[in-house]
Amino acid sequence: MRKIIVILGMCGSGKSVFSEYVAPKYNLKKIYFGEVTFDKLKEENLEVNSENERMMREKLRRDGGMGVYATLNIPKIKDALKTSDVLVESLYSWDELKILKETFDNITTISIVVDKHIRYDRLTKRDYRPLTIDEATLRDLTETENIKKCEPIANSDYYILNNGTIKDFYRKCDEVLNEIYK
For range 152-168, the mean pLDDT: 97
Residue type, 124: T
SS3 33: coil
Better-predicted residue by pLDDT, 74 or 128: 74
Q: How confident is the model at residue 142 (pLDDT cuts 50, 70, 90)?
A: confident
Q: What is the pLDDT of residue 61?
A: 92
* Neighbouring C-beta atoms of residue 59, cutoff 10 Å: 14
Using CA atoms, how far apart are residues 14 and 90, in angstroms rounded to an integer? Answer: 10
For range 55-83, the mean pLDDT: 95
Assigned fold of 4-177: Rossmann fold (3.40.50)
Q: What is the pLDDT of residue 111?
A: 97
Q: Left, alpha or beta for 9 (phi > 0: left; psi -120 to 50: alpha)?
A: left
Using CA atoms, how far apart are residues 9 and 113, in angstroms rounded to an integer? Answer: 6
| Residue extents of the structural domains in the chain | 4-177
Q: pTM higher than 0.85, yes or no?
A: yes
The pLDDT tens digits of the residues spanning 87-136 come to 999 898 999 999 999 999 999 999 999 999 999 999 999 988 898 999 99
Phi first, then psi: what are they for 10, rounded to 5°?
A: -70, 165
Question: Residue 86 forms beta bridges with which residues?
Answer: 4, 29
For range 73-98, the mean pLDDT: 95
